[in-house]
Amino acid sequence: AKGARAAGRRWFEGAWKLYPGYAKAFAPGRALSPVEGRGWEPACSAAVSSVAGEWFAGRIAEAVRLKDEGVDLFNRGDAVGAASTLQASLDLNPDNISTLVSLGAVCAHGGRFREAIVFYDRGLGLRQEDKALFADLLLSRANTLERLGHFSAADADRKRATSIQGGTADPG
């Protein structure tokens, strides 16, 4: 039993280095015991998964709140505040296409077209199930490419967006 506890402790200490919030998984009152023949890892993994799920859900909720706040700031004319808030949202959830589109729009509005293209390209590189959002992203990039003088690339994005909106193309 003493060796099993030591093994569990080592496993926990390794998990702790990955995410300090894992301590919540091992709070007093949480029943953990080794699984016969498999040791502490299954019990620790289950406890950590539960806490990690809570942590991730909170992180996503905060990212959505920040994205909404950033869009609101932009709509009220605060492009600097919007960019900062949208970047904070993106730091929490780097694969949110809506945030990438919004941040690209803020950059394009401020004349930072190349920076906007980077955000649009990141969004286009992600698998997207929402065809309307994907088409909007293509149109945003097309408008920005046109401002940079890349007319043939802008035209190609517009044609692809139109075919997606018409249901004749897959965004992926």
Give the model's pLDDT for residue 105: 94
CB-CB neighbours of 94 under 10 Å:
12
> In sequence order, which residues have a C-beta less than 8 Å from that of residue 52 and are 6 or more positions away?
19, 21, 22
What backbone torsions phi and psi does residue 129 show, to the nearest 5 degrees? Answer: -90, -25
Question: Amino acid identity, residue 99?
Answer: T
How far is the CA of 18 from the CAs of 11, 52, 169, in angstroms?
11, 11, 42
Q: How far is CA 26 from CA 6, 8, 17, 50, 85, in A?
A: 15, 11, 14, 11, 34
What is the Cα gyration radius of the chain?
Answer: 23
Tens-binned pLDDT, residue by residue, of the chain (172 aa): 556 556 655 655 555 454 445 445 444 444 444 445 555 455 555 555 555 556 566 778 888 899 999 999 999 999 999 999 999 999 988 888 889 999 999 999 999 999 999 999 999 988 777 888 889 999 999 999 999 999 999 999 999 999 988 866 555 5
For residue 133, count CB atoms less than 10 angstroms from its CB and return exposed for 0-12, middle for 13-18, buried for 19 or more: middle
> Nearest-CA neighbor of 68 among 43, 48, 96, 46?
96
Q: Count CB-CB contacts under 10 A for residue 37.
A: 5
What 3-state class would DSSP assign to 168? coil
Residues with Cβ within 8 Å of residue 56, at least 6 apart in sequence: none
Query: pTM (2 decimals)?
Result: 0.66
